[in-house]
Structure 1
Amino acid sequence: MANHDPRLKLHDDRPSASGDDLYHRRTFVRRLTQAVARRTQTSPFIIGIEGAWGEGKSTVLEYMAQELHANHRDVVLVRFNPWAYGSQDQMLLGLVQLVAERLRENTRKSVRKLAAGVLGLVGSAAELAGSVSGQGHLEKGGAATRKLADALGQEDSFPKQKAALEAKLRTAQTQVVVLVDDLDRLDHEAIRSVFRLLKAVFDLPSFTYILAYDPDIIAAALEAHFESRGALSGRRYLEKIVQLPLALPRLDPLDLEEDLFANLVGAFEDNGLPQSAEEIVEMRRLAKVLSTHLATPREIRRLGNAVRFALPILRGETNPVDVCRVEALRVLFPELFEQVLRHSDLLTDTGFLARHTYRRMLLRDGGANPIGGPLPVPPPGPLHEVFGGFPPAAKQLLGMAFPNAALAFDLHEPGRYSGPYAAHQPEYLKRYLQYAIGSDDVEDALTRQFIQDTVHRKASAEATLGALDAKRLPRFLGKIALYARPLESEERLALTLVLAGHFYESYVSFGSHAMPLLTVRDTVVEVLEQGVGRESSGERWEVLERLLKDLPEWWMSLDLFEACSSLLARESRSGREAVAQPLRDWLADLLHRHQTQLMQEPRAILVSALRLLAERHGRSLTHALVLDFVGERSDHAQRWLLALARQVRVEAGALPSRFSIEQYLMLEEVVDMDELLERLEPLVPEVEGLAATDEVMARIMFDRLLDIRPDAKEFRQLEAKELRQRLVAPPIHKSEHNIE
């Protein structure tokens, strides 16, 4: 996995303070600010900025503060967030302090003097409210505030103080604008307290309050209190408080699309991931699909943060486009994502395409069946049952990530993008769902490094291979076959040497218990076959010859040559079998030098070895070799039969009953079977029971040979008859004028 650790740039939920106006709100804000700053009436006024959570109300207030600061410096600006205070009395005193501070900061002396009046007025109101309600903490806070006002020479009684302050405000001819945010985050009682505070205490001339809230939440809070009294509903009561309700301008889906596209591209850039042209196109398509579902900029920020977080976790082990798709499912459609977790097998089912095509064919043809009656059309299947009830945007997104879903819901996607490590591949989906490499998975980076190490750091490659457990080894070998395709001859040789060496070392150590490791040998063969089309036949066989000659034991060379029989079959079909002949001759000579060991080695593929010897040195040699070995000894006869039984091997061990007529015919090429069976018969005793002993297995193998012999003779007779007919049949001449 690549080591890349950029600083994580996550977007918080604060209002946008940048100069970007992605949603074209500044024109609206500019008009609202001018209306407030130029208001000639001195009566208090409350404006409501109404919108859903995350729709941008706080950003509008931020833009308004910027506009007031830049173009209306004579307006006293107060920014108040009641959610920042832990109790109602703290909320009251906090607003008092904010208003007083902003007034004292003003450059005009007449405005600065208003601060003391505000402190005194609110202090008296709080002290009075605390003594009446029995809330001593509120009474003490109000007394402290009033004490500060007394020091500044204010009137003593609340009515007198309020009248004096109102007169001073009118005389000062200044506008005080209070921006109140996050009102809809408060609990119901706190919401009602804010409205009481504004109407009972801060109902002052020249004060304009801009409240940002979700009208449904505020109406519910008010209705919960007043409905029990038979009063007006929450919305009607809200209308009595807010003189100018302003709904946020509707968000344009095109703007949402642009914002989301910029966030996705920015997530790539923040994590140092270059984007290909295909990936950029796919990000645009993803933004277009999701823009029909997204309602607020906040949802875009949340998705952007999720993508920024997820991209570097398995960098180089996942497809970044699919990371965006899966994170969109996780963040925007959590219920659908839960079903993806539960039914991931449906989305990665490799047999779905065939079943879907068959069903479409039946639907198209009305179940027509040329043989019999009409065939029943299968039901749509479990994908429809699990995901069919989700909204169109959710299914569209699911189809972008998983072709099975695209087929199931007829989501036609021409030129669909699918890069490496795709989420729809069964071996990779867990990475996206778990943010991790599973216990049965292997890092692709480890696989690529292993292939490089086989060329330059063989010991390291061998250590990597030896460290893999039985669960991870099959996945590792599959990836080796994938990444080995572009290798050149020398790289292919180095890779197969390490793999073959590991297999045969394990086979020597574990014997028949190493059967599961046959996948290692199969991978060697697959890597060699990949050279077809890239290398000439001569080069391919040269690689195999060098590999066989590098193995430390003759029986290993024989075993791997037999495993590579598919290569020889390719050459035979193309008429180029001669290129393999030098290697066959070399191996036959190697076996000739070890012929005394051949009949004793249980790991040797005996029939194949004898055929190579017979082809190179004649059948008389192999016939004598077999009969001399069997001799008159029962133990040798048993070992010979067990060697034949091992020619058909499964994980459970040898399986003589599967010894085929083809293998029998191969035996006839190296030994006279009639003479051999006659020699064996007195040496193989009858046995009772089915215990898997050597004696029982040898007897089963002998009986199998006896069973096959008549069929083999009949096959030989038919073969000879067909050959004679071909030899004596006259050539057929067709007349130019009588062609049937």
Structure 2
Amino acid sequence: MTTTDKYGFSADRPIKSLQEDLLGRADFSKNLSDAISQWKGDDSLVIALHGDWGAGKSSIKNMALAHSKQQANSPTIIEFSPWEWSAQDKIIQAFFDEISKSIGRKNSSQEDQNLANIFSKYGNHLSTAHTFLKGANLALPLIVTAILSTGVISSYFTENVQLPILIATITSFITLILPATEKGGELLGKLSENYEKKAKLNEQNLTEIREELIEALSKRKTPLLIVMDDLDRLTTTELRMIFQLIKANTDFPNVIFLLLFQKDIVENKLTDSTQSGENYLEKIIQIPFTIPQIQQKQVHEVLFKLLNNVINSHTDADKKFDKERWTEIYHNGFKNYFNNLRNVYRFNSTLSFNFNLFKNNDIFEADPIDLIAIECLRVFEPTVYIKLSQSKRAFTTLSSSYGDNQSQKVKYLRVIEDVINSASEKNKESVKKILTSIFPTIRWIISNYYHDHSSYQEWFTQLRVCHKDHFDKYFKLSFDSEDFSTSDFINFIQLTVSREKLKEKILALDARNVLEDFLSKFEAYSKQVPQENFESYLYAMLDSADGINSESNQFFGFSSQTYLFRLSFWCLENIQDKKERATLLKKYINLNSNFSFINYFLFEEQKNREENQEILLDDSDFQALKNDFIVQLNRFANSCPDKLIQHHSFLSLMYRWKEWENSSIVLTWFETQTQNIEGILKVLQSMILVTRSSNDFYTISNIKKYIKADTVENFLDITRILNIIDSTNTSILSDEEKELIEMLRKGIENKANNRDDDLDD
């Protein structure tokens, strides 16, 4: 049956032949093969081939073996993968079984058949002893101690002792010691059964079989080449078993071991308190090789060839391919992800698959360069990819001409930085450059470079990912942007240890417009916040409250700010000591100018007192906190009047200030801020009230803005500000400014006619 790998999913498997070599390693492989074939010695030769993951060790091995098989007098090749047997704990038996099968395969000579039988006998002897000793592990210390105490085999325990001889010797003494142990009878029975089954094979003792094996090997005209790949996959115990097995048989003539592994991984696993892994390997490995270093140019030539195949698979995609943009993205960081062929093939196979999804007859429904860049992030920076898919507004919004442009810019910058910071440490700069290349829409945020609307329209026609109408199609395989896992909430709880980190997280969630949904679900987890983190947890929420969206996205439901207030209240309620509550709040208000929650808290405390409801502070502490609040608000109003006027809780703060302070101080402040048309418009902007309605009783669909005359009269002399307005040449005002004046006049008219301001015209 013919199989087709249309998208190259198996392309990163090791190559098998010299003809497949794309990186110029064929000569190295042939030289390695020739060196092995020409060797003949009285002892075994142990060769190691080192290289990192994905660097091509297995490919070089395959090419070397393929070359060997084509030569006269090539060695008998035995490939053994110990990691395939490690879980079954049969490494020793499997090792000799594989050698026996390889040598004694069909059509082999009588000499090889004989050698296969000897290896089989040798393996059976060792595996029987290993199985027994493993089963007797609880009794083994007693066994060994008893044997040593006889002094009979003390001469064996020297630096040059051979493992098989030691095992055979210990086994030969077992019958003398074993009956004295608790499980002796049972284990001795098993041992007897094993030997009975293999009686014919075990007529000779281990030493005799070993001598027979050495003699048979020395008569061979060609060596045995035993290849072990992927040793770095083994556990420390399994590695030691393999290397002890090799070391114990290094006196076998005409035997070559070729070992493939990543050197640092194996050394780390073999390092213990007695010696370093490096020294351990030096005692066993005679000839270490490191695979030739890959030239990035060679790898990228393969990458370009495969990318060309993908692009050329659709005519329209080829037409849309902008070589100038590609050069920018390639040098801005894309190239850094491809330092070996495994990464190239891995990327190409998934790109080929996803590329096919955008083929719509004669139209390619995406920008090919954007798709390549996004796929690079998906494969190599999955966290960046997921967060990017959740950050559509920040990455696709052009600069705004409205008054909230600066605050929006700050919000989006937090989102962008959060996405970039989630990249792998060594590639953060690459990710930043790639994102800047495919999202020119963010340049007004990170570098004050502004594009006009005509550019945005052009990106629409080019099907660019940076346009809001095309963004989603590039993330068809991404997670739901509003879906949160348990780990997200646990991570949020863990962040409560740090005020600054938790604040950053809250603001990042708000910037992605998912904070409201997140907090609504986090309420169920809020009781898990450790009490020792209450201060940092509470302060992070208070820090954030002034900088997030104070309006709900839903017709019925709380805003993100309201959820923060609720969580803050619950945190305070969980502090049993009222004095401790007061201390936390006083400390905060005297060091910060974030007024939203304190204002809300004091208002609720006052209302609860008037209604005889439960309160969180003693009367004296409540009054002291209120005084501190007014002092700080007064100070902020005079030092940063514009910031206060732009505060989203401006009107609420002004009502509290006027109520709890000498009202003349507040009215004088308002008069000072409205001496000209510019000041009046700023204050009127902050006095806009909004009515929201919905046709489906869930999503807000209708918004009405207006200014109440009563609101203005609470703080300003309407006659005075109308005189300033009337004396102004309104033709120089913007449409938004003219609309403010019209809302004021409409409010005055509605009051005069006793008409509700929020009714439709």
TM-score computed with the length of structure 1 as normaliser: 0.49
Question: Bigger radius of gyration, 1 or 2?
Answer: 1
TM-score computed with the length of structure 2 as normaliser: 0.48
